[in-house]
Structure 1
Amino acid sequence: MSHPLGVSRPDLEVTDLPTPEEVFKVSRIGFKELFKYAVGPSLIALGISIGSGEWLLGPLNVGQYGFVGVGWVIVVSALLQTFYNVECSRYVLATGETPVVGWGRVPPGWPLWVPLSVLIVIFAFIAGGWAASAGQGVYALVHGVPPGAGDVEPRLWAIALLVLVFLITAGARRISRALELANWVMVGAILLALLAVDLLVVPFGLWWEGIRGFVTPAAPPAGITATQLGALAGFTALASGLNWYVMGHYRDKGYGMGHRVGYLSGLRGERRAVLASGVTFPDDERNRGLWRRWYRLLMVDMWGVFFVGAILGMLLPTILMAQAVALSGEKPTRANVPTFVASALGDQYGRLTFYVALVVGVLILFSTQLGIFEAMVRVTTDAANATSPRLRRLIEGDPRRFYYPFMLLLLVVISIIIFQSLPVGLVEWSANMSNLGALIYPFLLMYLNSRLPRPARPRPWHYVILVLNFLFFGFFFVNFIADFVGDPLVTF
């Protein structure tokens, strides 16, 4: 028995959904088991999310222009992206295929969509602004002062952090699980430290101003361009139209049919094959009930962890930046924003505060670096394994034989690129390239999800939300191109 879906890829085999208890090896899923075993992929996404947008672009824009007229862009972006994440993950849960493999089922087929999607992800993120920014933070930690504009050493620290990502994945038994555990530690430490620092140094009036700015519809402030807002929108929460590149972790976590397809193991793990094509479930009473259970777990992971964390991850750094601007009497620039808050707080409250803020900044940017670098390798590995029988024979069914050599190659390429521009400039490029995805992938998702087994199909209003993603983020990408070749469409 099989389920046809799309073109140019094999039909999906049909078998029963596993139970969450079977996947997570527990007798029941209670509150404790939910957070110990089931929550996870959202943390990897959140580790990336609380990064370039939250520590660089959000504070940069708020520091220069204030909250009102900027904050609502953050909230709308986070809402739209969380809905989009759920729809990307719906496909993974129902088929066990990662999105980059699923795109190959959309007409005209995989020879167009799979290579194009890999290229878009790599083109968007290979600039390495997230790596270079983390390197600036490490430099300041080592030397006690922010780097100068022409210093080379921060880029060398960025390369060292890329090597650390390689070592984390190489030392893992199951790569996704290692990333989850790393992000439990980093995201938890980031949010707790930011909350503590904000409670200590940010006056209540600024807290209220930040919250009010998030919920007040207002015209963007004078002087800001749509390109700047587009970068902020693109990297609030995650990476707008390219968020799908992270959702494959639900397969490796074993959510739904992902449990039947396999996962990428680390060098210390046992050899694991990942099926080249996915599987799905029959439309019967038992599987309808199991689908509802898996979907509820997805909603908890996405709305209860990712969305809440993304909003806090943007609010806490931006009000801290507003206080740093008030204390220093200066505004951040694209060159100094990675270390601006630490310098301003250090001048006012002493060296301990300076170092605490730097550590938080490095953790924020490194969690982004960890997730993005690994995801570029993961997307390419999944795409190659699914579409090339010759490669599967060459690697003898062990994706690690492609994953780790490609990671080393990518490490070398990024190490060269990060010497070419200011870190924030590289991040803004990546963010606006992420918005390109919103012109393409919402429609591919509509095609795929409308052809899933009936219990897994979206409701009609979900398609409306996907169209809103296209309109909101797509506008910012079109503006970015107009700005790149001439003048932005809008300057406020």
Structure 2
Amino acid sequence: MSHPLGVSRPDLEVTDLPTPEEVFKVSRIGPKELFKHAVGPSLIALGISIGSGEWLLGPLSVGQYGFIGVGWVILVSALLQTFYNVECSRYVIATGETPVVGWGRVPPGWPLWVPLSVLIVIFSFIAGGWAASAGQGVFALVHGEAPPADAAEPRWYAVALLAVVFVITASARRISRALELANWVMVSAILIALLVTCVLVVPLSQWWEGISGFVTPAAPPEGITATQLGGLAGFTALASGLNWYVMGHYRDKGYGMGHRVGYISGLRGDGSTVRASGVTFPDDERNRGLWRRWYRLLMVDMWGVFFVGAILGMLLPTILMSHAVEMAGEQPTRANVPTFVASVLGAEYGPVVFYIGLVLGVLVLFSTQLGIFEAMVRVTTDAANATSPRLRRLIEGDPRRFYYPFMIVLLVLISIIIFQSLPVGLVEWSANMSNLGALIYPFLLMYLNSKLPRPARPRPWHYVILVLNFLFFGFFFVNFIADFIGDPLVTF
């Protein structure tokens, strides 16, 4: 029995959904089991989320222009992206296929969409601004001061951190699980430290200014560019139209049909194979009930963990930046924003606070570096494994034999690129390129999800939300391109 879906890819095999208890090897899913076993992919996404946008672009925009006219962009972006994440993950859970593989089912077929999607992801993130910014933080930790704008040493630290990512993935049994555990530690430490710092040093008036700025509709402040605002929109929460590149972790976590398809193991793992094509479930009473259970787990993971964490991850650094600007009497620049808050707090409260701020910044940016670097390798590996029988024969069904050599190649390329521009400039480029995805993938997703088994199909209003993603993020990308080649369509 099979389920046809789209073009140019094999029909989906049909079999029963597994139970959450079967996947997570527990007798029941209570609150303890939920957070110990089921929550996870959202943490990987959140580790990326609380990074370039939250530590660099958001604080830079608020530090220069204030909250009014900027804050609502953050809130709308986070809401739209969380809805979009749920829809991407719906496809993964229902079929076991990662989005980059699923795109190959959309007419005219995989020869267009799969290579194009890999190219867009790599082109968007290979600039390595997230890595270069983390290197600036390490430089400040080593030398006790912010690096000069043209210093080469921070870039070498960024290269070293890329090598750390390689070591983390290589030493894992199951790569997704290693990323989850690393982000449990980093995200928890980041949010707790930010919360404590903000409670201790930020006055209530600035808390209120930040919170009210999120919900106050207002025109963007005079002087802010379309590129800055588009970068803020694109890298709030995650990566706007390209968020799908992280949602494949639900397959490796074993959510729904992901359990039937397989996962990418680390060098210490068992060399698990990953099926080239997905599977889905029959429309019967048992599987309808199981689908609802998996969907509820997804909603907890995305809305209860990712959305809440993304809002806190943007609110806390921006109000801290606002307070730092007030104390310093000057605004951050693109060159010094990675270390600006730590420098100001250190001057006011002493060297201990300075170093705490630097460690916090390095953790924020390294969690982003870990997730993005690994995801570029993962997306390419999934695409190649699914579409090339010749490659599958060459690697003997073990994706690791492609994954790790490609990671080394990518490490070398990024290491070269990060020496070419200021880190924040690289991040703004990546953020605006992420908005390009919003012009394409919401429509591909609507096509795929409309053809899932009936219990897994979205409701009509879900399609409306996807169109809103297209309009909101797509506007910023079009304006960014117009600004890049001449004059922006809209100025503020």
- TM-score tier by shorter-chain length is over 0.9
Match of 1:290 in 2: 290
**SS at 1:42's partner residue?**
helix
- Distance in 2 between residues matched to 1:411 and 1:223, nearest whole Å: 37
Match of 2:387 in 1: 387
- Distance in 1 between residues matched to 2:337 and 2:253, nearest whole Å: 36
Contact residue 172 and residue 266 of structure 1 kept, 8 A: yes
Match of 1:323 in 2: 323
- Distance in 2 between residues matched to 1:193 and 1:113, nearest whole Å: 42
Contact residue 14 and residue 281 of structure 1 kept, 8 A: yes
Provide the aligned length of Structure 1 versus Structure 2: 492
- Distance in 1 between residues matched to 2:328 and 2:291, nearest whole Å: 54
CA shift, 1:149, in A, is 1.1
Deviations 1:162-211 (CA, angstroms, capped at 9, x unpaired): 00000000000000000000000000000000000001110010000000
> TM-score, structure 2 length as denominator?
1.00
Runs of 5+ in structure 2 lacking a partner? none
Q: Which amino acid aligns with 2:23?
A: V
Matched, 1:259 2:259: yes
- Distance in 1 between residues matched to 2:28 and 2:371, nearest whole Å: 30
Q: Which amino acid aligns with 2:17?
A: L
CA shift, 1:34, in A, is 0.2
Matched, 1:460 2:425: no
- Distance in 2 between residues matched to 1:144 and 1:223, nearest whole Å: 33
Match of 1:132 in 2: 132
- Say which is worse superposed, 220-229 or 419-428, in terms of deviation: 220-229
Contact residue 227 and residue 488 of structure 1 kept, 8 A: no
Match of 2:358 in 1: 358
- Distance in 1 between residues matched to 2:350 and 2:45, nearest whole Å: 34
Q: Which amino acid aligns with 1:94?
A: A
Matches within 5 A, 1:109-188: 109-188=109-188
- Distance in 2 between residues matched to 1:159 and 1:189, nearest whole Å: 24
Match of 2:414 in 1: 414
Deviations 1:310-352 (CA, angstroms, capped at 9, x unpaired): 0000000000000000010010000000000000101111001
Q: Which amino acid aligns with 1:18?
A: P
Q: Which amino acid aligns with 1:85?
A: N
**SS at 1:13's partner residue?**
strand
**SS at 1:383's partner residue?**
helix
- Distance in 2 between residues matched to 1:150 and 1:17, nearest whole Å: 55
Q: Which amino acid aligns with 1:182?
A: A
CA shift, 1:457, in A, is 0.1
- Distance in 2 between residues matched to 1:119 and 1:390, nearest whole Å: 21
CA shift, 1:226, in A, is 1.8
Match of 2:41 in 1: 41
Matches within 5 A, 1:388-403: 388-403=388-403
CA shift, 1:487, in A, is 1.4
Q: Which amino acid aligns with 1:471?
A: L
**SS at 1:330's partner residue?**
coil
Q: Which amino acid aligns with 1:286?
A: R
Q: RMSD across aligned C-alpha pairs, in angstroms?
A: 0.4
- Distance in 1 between residues matched to 2:452 and 2:151, nearest whole Å: 53
Deviations 1:82-139 (CA, angstroms, capped at 9, x unpaired): 0000000000000000000000000000000000000000000000000000000000
Match of 2:313 in 1: 313
CA shift, 1:488, in A, is 1.5
Matched, 1:332 2:332: yes
Q: Which amino acid aligns with 1:331?
A: Q
**SS at 2:149's partner residue?**
coil
Contact residue 135 and residue 157 of structure 1 kept, 8 A: yes
Matches within 5 A, 1:434-445: 434-445=434-445
Contact residue 252 and residue 264 of structure 1 kept, 8 A: yes
Match of 1:479 in 2: 479
- Distance in 2 between residues matched to 1:160 and 1:267, nearest whole Å: 20
> TM-score, structure 1 length as denominator?
1.00
Q: Which amino acid aligns with 2:339?
A: T
- Distance in 2 between residues matched to 1:431 and 1:361, nearest whole Å: 19
CA shift, 1:374, in A, is 0.0
- Distance in 1 between residues matched to 2:7 and 2:356, nearest whole Å: 53
Match of 1:30 in 2: 30
Runs of 5+ in structure 1 lacking a partner? none
Matches within 5 A, 1:85-100: 85-100=85-100
- Distance in 2 between residues matched to 1:231 and 1:37, nearest whole Å: 34
**SS at 1:246's partner residue?**
helix
- Distance in 1 between residues matched to 2:439 and 2:168, nearest whole Å: 34
CA shift, 1:490, in A, is 1.6
Match of 1:347 in 2: 347
CA shift, 1:214, in A, is 0.5
Deviations 1:229-255 (CA, angstroms, capped at 9, x unpaired): 100000000000000000000000000
- Distance in 1 between residues matched to 2:324 and 2:107, nearest whole Å: 51
**SS at 2:282's partner residue?**
coil
- Distance in 1 between residues matched to 2:72 and 2:134, nearest whole Å: 27
Deviations 1:434-487 (CA, angstroms, capped at 9, x unpaired): 000000000000000000000000000000000000000000000010000011
Q: Which amino acid aligns with 1:80?
A: L
Match of 1:7 in 2: 7
Contact residue 234 and residue 431 of structure 1 kept, 8 A: yes
- Distance in 2 between residues matched to 1:149 and 1:94, nearest whole Å: 48
CA shift, 1:227, in A, is 1.6
Q: Which amino acid aligns with 1:339?
A: T
Displacement over 4 Å in runs of 4+ = none
Q: Which amino acid aligns with 1:149?
A: A
- Distance in 2 between residues matched to 1:343 and 1:300, nearest whole Å: 38
Identity %: 88
- Distance in 2 between residues matched to 1:122 and 1:221, nearest whole Å: 32
- Distance in 2 between residues matched to 1:487 and 1:325, nearest whole Å: 31
Matches within 5 A, 1:230-249: 230-249=230-249
**SS at 1:427's partner residue?**
helix
